[in-house]
Amino acid sequence: MANRSGAAQRPNGTQGKICQFKLVLLGESAVGKSSLVLRFVKGQFHEYQESTIGAAFLTQTVCLDDTTVKFEIWDTAGQERYHSLAPMYYRGAQAAIVVYDITNQDTFGRAKTWVKELQRQASPTIVIALAGNKQDLANKRMVEFEEAQTYADENGLLFMETSAKTALNVNDIFLAIAKKLPKYDQNQGQSGQGQGRRLAEGDQGAKTPGNCCK
């Protein structure tokens, strides 16, 4: 907690701009949405991650060149019953990670439905990433990498296979999203729709996960 209040320090001592983005995780129940977030935000993994009821909220900050990107992460419940609450979370989201479980073909089908819903309902500029999670169980794979990659290419999605358990590609997928998000241009007056909110310098602190700020 403590280091969250410090101002974002750049290697050369100057402060870059800070952008804040709302990101939502969607996908079938038990594909590992909460686990991906927990790995990304706290670097932890629980085999028996409690099921998410409704939604959970966490934040994490990553550094990109001269920009600090703060993610407000909304982790949603996977069961269909909770679907009616989901739009509350993805409304106004600038990014989404749609998660499936590579060992379960149905969850991939469900992921496609989520992508469709986002394309139809969410902000038109939303950045969508597809995450094939549980890559550590590749020996039980039911969804081929190529199949998902092709689907992602056709739909303009970022795509990675991830493992919350081994941390494979977890930071990477968030970083890739951060790179793709339109950063607020300092020279323009107002931030446009679908763009990150620019925070006043020093207003919000930044915590740097991993080694992105070395």
Q: List contacts with another protein (CB under 8 A).
A: 1, 29-30, 47-51, 53-59, 72, 77, 79-85, 87-88, 91, 106, 110, 113
Rounded to 10 degrees, the C-alpha dihedral 173/21/182/206 comes to -80
Q: Distance between CA atoms of 162 and 157, rounded to whole angstroms? A: 15
Q: Distance between CA atoms of 209 and 211, rounded to whole angstroms? A: 6
Structure tokens at 72: 């407000």
In this structure, is the dihedral angle defined by the CA atoms of residues 52, 53, 59 and 63, taken in order, positive or negative? Answer: positive
| Nearest to another protein of 82, 179 (CB atom) | 82
| Nearest to another protein of 51, 150 (CB atom) | 51
Q: How far is the CB of 51 from another protein (least distance, A)?
A: 5
| Nearest to another protein of 106, 185 (CB atom) | 106
Q: How far is the CB of 139 from another protein (least distance, A)?
A: 11
Q: Which residues contact 138 (CB under 8 A, 6 or more apart)?
A: 102
Q: Which residue shows structure tokens 């479980």?
A: 101
Residue 179 burial by Cβ neighbours in a 10 Å radius (0-12, 13-18, 19+):
middle
Q: How far is the CB of 135 from another protein (least distance, A)?
A: 14
Which residues sit opposite 128 in a β-bridge? Answer: 96
Structure tokens at 174: 């968030």
Structure tokens at 195: 């763009």
Q: How far is the CB of 214 from another protein (least distance, A)?
A: 24
| Nearest to another protein of 110, 198 (CB atom) | 110
Q: How far is the CB of 11 from another protein (least distance, A)?
A: 26
| Nearest to another protein of 36, 56 (CB atom) | 56
| Nearest to another protein of 79, 150 (CB atom) | 79
Please answer whether residues 60 and 207 qualify as being in contact, where contact means their C-beta atoms are separated by less than 8 angstroms.
Answer: yes
Amino acid in the structure at residue 75: D
Q: How far is the CB of 175 from another protein (least distance, A)?
A: 20
